[in-house]
Amino acid sequence: MPLTRSILIVAVASLLALAGCATGSHVSLGSNPPQTGTISMVMTDTPPAGVTPLSFTVMVTSATLNTPSSMVSLPTPTTPIEVTRLQTEVGFLSSDSIALGNYTSLTLTYANPSLTFENNTGAALTVNGAICAKGAVCTVTPALANSTTTITLPSTIALTNGASDTLDIDLNLANLFSAALSTDFSAGSSVTIVSPALGQALPTFEDVVAQVTAMDTTHSTVTIQNSLGTSIATVNSSTVFHDFPSSCKSTLATCISVGQIVSANMALQSTAALIATDLFFKDTTATESEVEGVITAVNVPAQQFNMVVLDESAPAGVAGLALGSNALVGSTGATFTADDMGVDTTGYLFSGVADLMVGQEVSVLRNSTLSSGTSLTADRVLLRASRISTALTVPAACPSLTISTLPSFIAAAGTAQISVLTSSSSSNGLTEFAGTANACSAIPTHATISARGQLFSVVGGGLPTLIASKVVTH
């Protein structure tokens, strides 16, 4: 299985720290102005051949940033982290105030790992006492070894007044899982430091689909929440509103209302605040949740498909439908459409069950009356962005990349190759390049890439095509 990388972030602002204090305790503001600085902590993401994680969730139960003689406790999220979605994304966890100091290491503790995978090894697998039959999609609780890990920083972070740095933690799933699919969080972890003082950009958080739960027009902020957490972002004159009803006048007060479902792109600031750079309208209702997942099987005659759930727009989730669930979706009478992801998909068809394929990510607008637990009835099926990590074996013929080393569950469904189509034209929507290559032509053969984009099942002899909105070269 190719290496996958995911990114998580905890923004930590030392807004209540007094000058010279490095004990890690929070203090009240006195008559002297505080000395302030900001730390952002970022985390980036091989089981046996034939096992591709479809969903991997885990809780971070403790995090400390350490000096040689003390530690600072950082806040931890109250919701699980869905790791596989973050192959090309950044996920925000939390922010807090900390003391100034010279920090040399980071300690993280994990709990409650849950893995959903399709067993394409050719034989039954036993994972922590649970048997997964050949060809089955199984959700298991991996055995957890070394749940606490301390990572030495590559250099000391001297958090001084007004400073801002980001810790980028790389969690390598290829090393995290053993052959028996147990987890060892002390394996494969490393850290790099991103510093705005050196001209390095702070992370952005893209395509966060969530329900609007609050808005503050006085301070121009919007609160969005889904099953993976809550974000509060500032809306300003640079925020771009997409696909909203005609009554929208490109302001918070005229476009946003509580209960809407939106997709947000947000930029982290040096103060640990979030700015909403783009807001995409998805739906007006809070009674029917958007349930997003990756397709694992398609039954065209029955107008049904199976998907593993990766995200839910409902803040408390959907009853009986946990992340990682294998859901059966009925789509008779549903509307099929490709989502607005900022790239041009003109000429690519997505109008019914016949256009579905294993490996696509879709968002189902769940009919609340006809759905129950893992049995869903769709009012609408929206083609979202798939995320595929692979090692390239064919030289790039830019603007296309042909990938033939596919995740095992896609290959097992009969797909041998996928074409990844990139764009350098702003009129078609630019492909974002990240990692070690800043353009299609700079990607070397045999590089490992993670591609994000809408995946279309092409009929008539053509290859399935992923219209890339982002390509990360590792």
Count structural domains, the chain.
4
Q: Do 366 and 445 fall within a single domain?
A: no
Q: How many CA atoms lie less than 13 Å away from 301 in the CB half-sphere?
A: 0
Shared-domain flag, residues 21 and 167: yes
Which pLDDT tens digit goes with each residue over 50-87? 788 899 898 889 989 899 999 988 888 888 888 887 77
Q: What would the mean pLDDT of 132-146 be, rounded to a whole number?
A: 93
Q: Are 63 and 186 found together in one domain?
A: yes
b/e sequence 210-242, b meaning 16+ C-beta within 10 Å: bbbbebeeeebbbbbbbbbbbbbbbbeeebebe
Kindly state whether residues 365 and 265 are assigned to the same domain. no
Q: Point out the domain boundary residue: 237, 260, 283.
A: 283
2 falls within a domain: no
The answer on 403 and 366 residing in a single domain is no
Residue 456 lies in a domain: yes
Does the residue 415 lie in any domain?
Answer: yes
Rounded distance, CA 103 to CA 81, Å? 25
**Residue 38 pLDDT grade (very low, low, confident, very high; cuts 50, 70, 90):** low
What sign for the dihedral angle of Cα 441, 86, 373, 369? negative
In a domain, 263, yes or no: yes
**Is the pLDDT assigned to residue 474 strictly greater than 90?**
no
Domain stop point among 198, 227, 243: 198
Collapsed DSSP state (helix, strand, coil) of residue 174: helix
Out of 7-11, 265-269, 297-301, 420-424, least confident range: 7-11
For residue 306 the two structure tokens come to 């199976």
Whether residues 136 and 27 share a domain: the answer is yes
Let me know if residue 137 belongs to a domain.
yes
- Tokens in use for 419? 């074409």
> pLDDT band at residue 205, thresholds of 50, 70 and 90?
confident
Q: Does residue 103 belong to any structural domain of this protein? A: yes
- Spatial CA neighbour of 220 closest among 283, 279, 299: 279
Q: Would residue 245 count as lying in a domain? A: yes
Residues 172 and 270 reside in one and the same domain: no
Q: Are residues 26 and 128 in the same domain?
A: yes
In this structure, the answer to whether residues 340 and 231 fall within a common structural domain is no
380-401, pLDDT tens digit by residue? 999 999 999 888 888 888 999 9
Backbone φ, ψ for residue 196 (5° rounding):
-60, -25
The domain of 343 spans 290-383
**Judgement on whether residues 53 and 146 belong to the same structural domain of the protein:** yes
Lowest mean pLDDT among 97-111, 187-201, 344-358, 361-375: 187-201
Residue 166 has pLDDT above 80, yes or no: no
In a domain? residue 299: yes
Pair 355, 301: CB distance under 8 Å: no
Mean pLDDT score, 387-416: 90
pLDDT band at 306 (very low <50, low <70, confident <90, very high): very high
403-415: average pLDDT: 92
When pLDDT is averaged across residues 110-122 and rounded to a whole number, the result is 92
pTM: 0.86
The whole-number pLDDT of residue 86 equals 74
- Tell me: pLDDT of 362 over 60: yes
Range of weakest confidence among 37-46, 338-347, 377-386: 37-46
pLDDT, residue 288, reads 85
Model confidence at 453: pLDDT above 70: yes
- Residue 396 is predicted with a pLDDT of 85
Domain termination site, one of 262, 283, 304: 283
pLDDT of residue 235: 97
d(CA 138, CA 412): 16
Q: What is the pLDDT of the chain when averaged over all its residues?
A: 84
* pLDDT at residue 368 in the model: 93
Contact by Cβ (8 Å): 18, 55: no
Are 80 and 151 in the same domain?
Answer: yes
CATH of the domain at 343: 2.40.50.320
Q: Does residue 156 sit in the same domain as residue 169? A: yes
Dump pLDDT digits (tens) for 209-229.
999 999 999 999 999 999 988
